[in-house]
């Protein structure tokens, strides 16, 4: 009986949309099956976490109020008075952090498995942009509870943005909606967080996913060079998809456990006139840059140390983004040892400075 209904539905859609070619195409999508297959899950995990964010975010908008007088109280309200409000809010906060972590892992795994190589350069570029958008989500969302930590973290963060030469002042005013962090900043960040960034994100994400569907899973050199008998792959539908689903279920469970046992905190309400809490630091995904900047001397030759630091990071970021370009020099099939070393260096740098950021708090 079920079979009949399924076929009926399928035929109805097929008459209109000619699903056959799509179905046969999808049937052939496969994932290489070897020791590095595990990394292939992280794209999906990032996608899942994004969906969780959108869902919990929409639910939160039902009760959140984005004005200076009410933001903090509305979060308290959600936490205390709304049924399961505590759950939705804590999931949203935990999922945000896990998503950024997952996206970082996804990026590094793509880097080391060289999945950015031709023909997948655009996938890489859209992906990097998506990463920046994620960090923008993180930065803008962090202010929304309007508690002390949020307020001062935003102040420090926008201060750093203001240090950029030429565009710094303009950027600072644009971000803050004025000279200082005020209710105007909150409004802007709220608009950014729930409208502008999601809009851009969805467009880029769609491109990113379409590219992947069109081009299929990347097959790294290591796997390609295996003898035919040992070359194994998993069909995406339904095998890998079910594996994906399994992992997604576990991730959702982890989120629920984190939300229940480690509920996200809410400090005291932001007060522009109080002094910044001692040891104020940004969230962990910005921490390595923040900590590294602290080590730079105040003046390097005639330039301000901080500006040099920021520009260096900017330059490093640019070079990282352009890796498909640098790597294109490598003749096909060869390993690029330099790239690996650079990647390891960057990874180590980020990890070490993040740890230092916490130790030296």
Helix (H), strand (E) at residue 319:
helix 305-321
> Rounded to the nearest whole angstrom, what is the least distance from the CB of residue 212 to another protein in the complex?
22
Distances, alpha carbon 218 to alpha carbons 116, 223, 324, 346, 350, in Å: 9, 10, 14, 23, 26
CB atoms within 10 A of CB 300: 13
Check residue 122 for interaction with another protein (CB under 8 A). no
**Please, which residue, 93 or 123, has the CB nearer to another protein?**
93
- Can you give the C-alpha Rg of the chain in angstroms? 23
Check residue 351 for interaction with another protein (CB under 8 A). no
C-beta of residue 235 within 8 angstroms of C-beta of residue 27: yes
Check residue 229 for interaction with another protein (CB under 8 A). no
Of positions 49, 59, 100, 113, contacts another protein by CB under 8 A: 59
Check residue 85 for interaction with another protein (CB under 8 A). yes
Check residue 277 for interaction with another protein (CB under 8 A). no
Long-range contacts of 271-280 (CB under 8 A, 24+ apart): 271/148, 271/151, 272/151, 272/180, 272/181, 272/182, 274/148, 276/152, 276/155, 276/156, 277/148, 277/149, 277/152, 279/361, 280/149, 280/152, 280/153, 280/156
> Rounded to the nearest whole angstrom, what is the least distance from the CB of residue 136 to another protein in the complex?
27
- What φ, ψ does residue 31 adopt, rounded to 5°? -120, 130
> Rounded to the nearest whole angstrom, what is the least distance from the CB of residue 211 to another protein in the complex?
27
**Please, which residue, 247 or 339, has the CB nearer to another protein?**
247
Of positions 84, 170, 325, 345, contacts another protein by CB under 8 A: 84
Of positions 119, 165, 199, 238, contacts another protein by CB under 8 A: 238
Check residue 249 for interaction with another protein (CB under 8 A). yes
**Please, which residue, 247 or 280, has the CB nearer to another protein?**
247
Check residue 354 for interaction with another protein (CB under 8 A). no
Check residue 74 for interaction with another protein (CB under 8 A). yes
């Amino acid at each position: 009986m079920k079979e009949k209904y399924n076929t009926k539905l399928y035929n109805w859609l097929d008459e209109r949309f000619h699903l056959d070619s799509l179905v046969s195409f999808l049937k052939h999508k496969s994932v290489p099956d070897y020791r590095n297959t595990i990394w292939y899950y992280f794209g999906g995990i990032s996608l899942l976490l994004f969906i969780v964010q959108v869902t919990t975010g929409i639910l939160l908008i039902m009760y959140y109020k984005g004005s200076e007088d009410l933001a903090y109280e509305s979060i308290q309200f959600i936490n205390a008075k709304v049924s399961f409000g505590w759950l939705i809010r804590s999931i949203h906060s935990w999922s945000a952090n896990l998503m950024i972590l997952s996206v970082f892992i996804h990026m590094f795994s793509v880097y080391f498995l060289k999945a950015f190589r031709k023909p997948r350069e655009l996938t890489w570029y859209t992906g990097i942009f998506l990463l920046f958008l994620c960090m923008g989500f993180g930065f803008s969302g962090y202010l929304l509870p309007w508690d002390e930590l949020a307020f001062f973290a935003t102040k420090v963060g926008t201060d750093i943005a203001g240090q950029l030469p030429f565009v710094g002042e303009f950027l600072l005013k644009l971000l803050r909606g004025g000279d200082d962090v005020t209710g105007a900043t909150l409004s802007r960040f709220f608009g950014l967080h729930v409208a502008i960034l999601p809009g851009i994100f969805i467009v880029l994400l769609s491109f990113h996913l379409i590219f992947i569907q069109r081009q299929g899973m990347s097959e790294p050199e290591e796997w390609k060079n295996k003898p035919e008998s040992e070359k194994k792959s998993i069909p995406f539908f339904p095998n890998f998809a079910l594996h994906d689903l399994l992992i997604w279920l576990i991730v959702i469970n982890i989120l629920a456990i984190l939300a229940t046992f480690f509920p996200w905190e809410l400090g005291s309400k932001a007060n522009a006139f109080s002094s910044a809490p001692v040891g104020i630091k940004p969230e962990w995904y910005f921490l390595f840059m923040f900590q590294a900047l602290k080590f730079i001397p105040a003046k390097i030759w005639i330039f301000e140390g901080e500006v040099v630091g920021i520009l260096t990071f900017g330059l490093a970021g640019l070079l990282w983004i352009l890796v498909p370009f640098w790597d294109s020099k490598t003749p096909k099939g060869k390993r690029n040892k330099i790239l690996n070393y650079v990647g390891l260096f960057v990874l180590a740098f980020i990890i070490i400075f993040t740890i230092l950021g916490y130790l030296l708090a």
